[in-house]
């Protein structure tokens, strides 16, 4: 990806400078051509050396050499789940473009600053429109909406499955206690072992739906295991309490 930038774009977007320098006012149309590249591009072409000072050239009848003056951090343009691609930036003054995106950082209300920007643009060119004004939070939210919906639906079904599993454990252990064939802990341990093994296998299928979170999240596994263990230990309590209240002579006659 190639992008033309001007002003304090990198500072406004909080893209860190890793090596070299940002663009300056001295990088004008008459000045030597310069580029800033991201870390992904530097790793691809100069993995074992510093990219600062390296030169590249654009093809054509009269090729011009362009010097790399800075390396900045990677950003994910296509979505949080898509790895950053190699890209380089050039100063807008050296390669003017009629289409631009204005980026503004402010501590005030976005609506207020948007109205002020429109007024300033109208002062410069009354025929120039300002469209598609969005906050960075809205941009991020739009990019993750499909994954968020899938995660919410998956969470709902997982909660239902967890509730059914808890009811099932309770019912089975209650029945066993009623029959006086208590093997509660053995069944709990066996069930948890099989369940955890299956979970580790099938969580790999969820990896494509997650970003920034490992599919084998330890906290989730511990929480679910403790919850099911608690249900399993509590399940025998009520039938055992009823059984303890029965007269032993009555129980012996029933046998």
> Model pTM greater than 0.75?
no
**In a shared domain, residues 92 and 140:** no
User: What range does the domain containing 43 cover?
Assistant: 2-101
Is residue 143 domain-shared with residue 236, that is, in the same domain?
Answer: yes
Are 210 and 179 found together in one domain?
yes
Are residues 141 and 185 part of one domain?
yes
Give residues with Cβ within 8 angstroms of 37, minimum separation 6: 51, 68, 70, 71, 72, 86, 87, 88, 89
Average pLDDT value for the chain: 78
17-54 tens-digit pLDDT: 999 999 998 998 889 999 999 999 999 999 889 999 99
Give yes or no: residues 141 and 210 share one domain.
Answer: yes
Query: Stretch 211-222: mean pLDDT, rounded?
Result: 68
The reply to whether 109 and 12 lie within a common domain is no
Instruction: Indicate if 173 and 219 belong to the same structural domain.
Output: yes
Tell me if 72 sits within 8 A of 18, measured CB to CB.
yes
Confidence check: pLDDT of 132 > 60: yes
Q: 195 and 226 in one domain? A: yes
- Same domain for 56 and 22: yes
Per-residue pLDDT tens over the stretch 159-196: 888 788 777 777 776 666 655 545 556 666 777 777 77
> Which domain-ending residue is among 82, 101, 120?
101
Q: Is the dihedral of CA 123, 126, 128, 132 positive or negative?
A: positive
Per-residue pLDDT reduced to its tens digit, 2-15: 888 988 889 988 89
Q: Are residues 143 and 174 in the same domain?
A: yes
Number of domains in the chain: 3
Q: Are 10 and 117 within one domain?
A: no
Report, as an integer, the average pLDDT of 63-75: 90
pLDDT digits (tens, 9 = 90+) for 100-114: 888 888 887 777 788
Q: What is residue 72's predicted lDDT score, i.e. its pLDDT? A: 95
- Domain end residue (candidates: 52, 85, 101): 101
- Using the 8-state DSSP alphabet, how is residue 117 labeled? H
């Amino acid at each position: 990806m190639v992008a033309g930038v001007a002003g304090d774009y990198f500072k406004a977007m909080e893209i860190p400078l890793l090596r070299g320098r940002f663009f300056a006012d001295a990088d004008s149309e008459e000045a030597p051509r310069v580029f800033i590249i991201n870390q992904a591009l530097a790793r691809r072409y100069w993995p074992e050396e510093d990219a600062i000072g390296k030169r590249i050239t654009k093809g054509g009848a009269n090729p011009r050499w362009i010097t790399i003056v800075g390396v900045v951090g990677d950003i994910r343009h296509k979505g949080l789940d898509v790895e950053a691609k190699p890209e380089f930036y050039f100063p807008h003054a050296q390669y003017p473009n009629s289409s631009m995106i204005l980026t503004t950082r402010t501590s005030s209300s976005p609506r207020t600053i948007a109205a002020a920007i429109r007024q300033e643009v109208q002062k410069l060119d009354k025929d120039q429109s300002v469209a598609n004004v969005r906050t960075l939070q809205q941009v991020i939210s739009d990019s993750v909406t499909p994954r968020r919906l899938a995660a919410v639906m998956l969470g709902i079904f997982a909660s239902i499955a967890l509730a059914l599993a808890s009811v099932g454990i309770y019912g089975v252990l209650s029945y066993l206690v009623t029959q006086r064939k208590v093997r509660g802990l053995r069944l709990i341990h066996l069930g948890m072992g099989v369940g955890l093994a299956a979970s580790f296998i099938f969580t790999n299928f969820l990896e494509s739906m997650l970003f920034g979170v490992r599919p084998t999240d330890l906290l989730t596994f511990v929480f679910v295991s403790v919850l099911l263990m608690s249900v399993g230990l509590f399940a025998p309590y009520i039938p055992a309490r009823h059984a303890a209240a029965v007269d032993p002579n009555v129980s012996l006659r029933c046998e």
